[in-house]
């Protein structure tokens, strides 16, 4: 896997991990931060002074305190005698109790002190339950779950302000009110605390920063690789133009062997050669139309048939930075190669006693080789080379290929072996 692919995978993985982690954090804190509370049915019974009838009102308007036992309570309702003591913040607050031992319920206004203090002061007077109405709230009908840890087994509920003022008005008229408190509906409220929100937000921001860092790194690497690739292509293009300028260009004349029907056609355009066609001869002796092969050489820098690399063959190495981009399809020895009779450039690999050409080598230039072979003196003939006069016969082996192999890169190598016995 390349570095860019690795960066892309890491960035995507980081995004997914960020989403999953934050989602799990939200679920965890949503479940952890929850509140269970119970409503309370408040049933009051009193004698209507106007109609002299007993009236009963039952509403689910109360809410049990956080530390209150969830149980029923019944008794007469009383509130402090003095107006300034109705919030029961003083431990010396007095209630007008006719029978101190009978069960009774304290009606207390909220504010000025904690719920715990109010409930403990009423409990010290043997109140069986405490009813606190929410005084001075922005929402008169709102009730909350009162915290009052350490108040014992005293039942404590909160009722809305209108309901509390209604009961207080009856008591101010010296009307006896009996209240029955019973358990209502169980509620489970889920919420995310402020601390949880801050923690999740910070975690999300940190993961987002990591993700963005990976993305920036990925795009920087991608830009660098694209720039390097473009530079290498430009350098290789310049080297290819230099190599092409060294290749031989020839105009075909009428009667040339390229115009004969037995001669292969151009491998690029698959058309026969005609008189006045301009052809380019590659170092491997393959012939192509100049207009056909030049664009190919600029892009690929190899022979379309045998894949020989013209840059290496002509001794034009590219820059070091782009060396890895050059195809390694053709290896040549840079010992002391002969000169190409056609192009004047090094073209083939020389061993000690052999010349190796490409499998699909054309006949161009072979006449020169045959001429050199025929020019060797025979045994016993006088020669300008005295050291060869008494040498054994020159063994010349020429292996020809069928025409079908000229299009195959896997055909056996055309070889010209010259063995000389001294």
* pLDDT tens digits for range 153-173: 889 999 998 898 999 999 888
At 129, give phi and psi (nearest 5°): -160, 155
CB neighbour list of residue 250: distance below 8 Å, 6 or more residues apart = 278, 279, 280, 281
Select the more confidently predicted residue: 363 or 44: 44
Select the more confidently predicted residue: 275 or 193: 275
| Residue range 268-286: mean pLDDT, rounded | 89
Q: Is the pLDDT of residue 228 over 50?
A: yes
What is the residue-averaged pLDDT of the chain? 72
At 162, give phi and psi (nearest 5°): -60, -40
For domain 34-187, give its CATH number from 1.10.3720.10, 3.50.30.30, 3.90.1150.10, 3.40.640.10.
3.50.30.30
* pLDDT tens digits for range 177-203: 999 999 988 888 766 667 777 877 888
Q: How far apart are CA 243 and CA 311, in angstroms?
A: 6
Burial 23-47 (b: 16+ CB within 10 A, else e): eeeeeebeeebeeebbbbbbebebe
Q: How far apart are CA 69 and CA 65, in angstroms?
A: 8
Handedness of CA 58, 59, 62, 64 (dihedral sign): positive
Q: Is the pLDDT of residue 419 over 60?
A: no
pLDDT at 186: 87
Segment among 38-42, 147-151, 196-200, 220-224 with least mean pLDDT? 196-200
Q: Is the pLDDT of residue 206 over 70?
A: yes
Domain ranges of the chain: 3-32+194-222, 34-187, 247-379+386-419
Q: How far apart are CA 419 and CA 422, in angstroms?
A: 10
| pTM tops 0.85, yes or no | no
| Residue range 16-33: mean pLDDT, rounded | 59
CA distances from 330 to 223, 288, 349 (A): 32, 19, 10
| Residue range 351-378: mean pLDDT, rounded | 37
| Residue range 273-292: mean pLDDT, rounded | 90
Fold (topology level) of 247-379+386-419: Herpes Virus-1 (3.30.40)
Q: How far apart are CA 166 and CA 77, in angstroms?
A: 12
Q: How far apart are CA 362 and CA 357, in angstroms?
A: 10
* pLDDT tens digits for range 103-146: 899 999 888 888 899 898 888 888 889 999 887 777 888 888 88
Label residue 2 by pLDDT band (50, 70, 90): low
- 108, containing H or E segment: strand 104-109
pLDDT at 395: 32
CA distances from 236 to 67, 330, 333, 373 (A): 84, 17, 21, 39
Q: How far apart are CA 86 and CA 67, in angstroms?
A: 23
**SS3 category, 45:** strand
């Amino acid at each position: 896997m390349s570095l860019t692919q690795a960066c892309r995978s890491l960035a995507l993985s980081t995004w997914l991990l960020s989403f999953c982690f934050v989602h799990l954090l939200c679920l965890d804190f949503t479940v952890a931060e929850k509140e269970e509370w119970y409503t309370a049915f408040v049933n009051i019974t009193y004698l209507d002074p106007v109609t002299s009838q007993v009236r009963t009102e039952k509403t689910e308007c109360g809410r049990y305190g956080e530390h209150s036992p969830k149980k029923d309570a019944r008794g007469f309702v009383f509130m402090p005698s003095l107006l300034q003591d109705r919030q029961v913040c003083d431990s010396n607050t007095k209630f007008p109790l006719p029978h101190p031992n009978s069960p009774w319920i304290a009606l207390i206004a909220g504010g000025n002190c904690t719920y715990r203090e109010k409930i403990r002061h009423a409990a010290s007077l043997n109140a069986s339950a405490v009813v606190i109405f929410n005084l001075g709230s922005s929402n008169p009908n709102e009730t909350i779950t009162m915290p009052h840890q350490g108040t014992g087994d005293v039942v404590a509920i909160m009722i809305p302000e209108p309901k509390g003022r209604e009961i207080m008005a009856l008591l101010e008229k010296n009307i006896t009110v009996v209240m029955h408190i019973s358990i209502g509906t169980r509620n489970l409220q889920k919420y995310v605390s402020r601390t949880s929100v801050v923690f999740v937000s910070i975690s999300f921001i940190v993961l987002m920063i990591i993700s963005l860092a990976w993305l920036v790194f990925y795009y920087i690497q991608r830009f660098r690789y694209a720039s390097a690739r473009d530079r290498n292509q430009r350098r290789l293009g310049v080297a290819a133009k230099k190599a092409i300028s060294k290749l031989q260009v020839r105009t075909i004349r009428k009667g040339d062997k390229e115009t004969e029907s037995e001669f292969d056609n151009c491998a690029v355009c698959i058309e026969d050669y005609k008189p006045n066609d301009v052809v380019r001869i590659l170092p491997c002796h393959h012939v192509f139309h100049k207009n056909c092969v030049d664009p190919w050489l600029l892009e690929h820098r190899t022979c379309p048939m045998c894949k020989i690399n013209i840059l290496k063959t002509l001794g034009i190495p590219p820059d070091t930075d782009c060396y890895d981009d050059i195809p390694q399809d053709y290896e040549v020895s840079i010992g002391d190669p002969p000169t190409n009779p056609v192009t004047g450039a090094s073209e083939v690999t020389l061993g000690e006693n052999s010349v190796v050409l490409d499998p699909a080598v054309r006949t161009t230039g072979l006449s020169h080789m045959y001429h050199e072979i025929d020019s060797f003196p025979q045994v016993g003939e006088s020669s300008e080379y005295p050291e060869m006069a008494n040498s054994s016969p020159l063994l010349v082996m020429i292996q020809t290929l069928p025409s079908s192999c000229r299009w195959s890169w896997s055909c056996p190598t055309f070889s010209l072996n010259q063995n000389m016995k001294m």
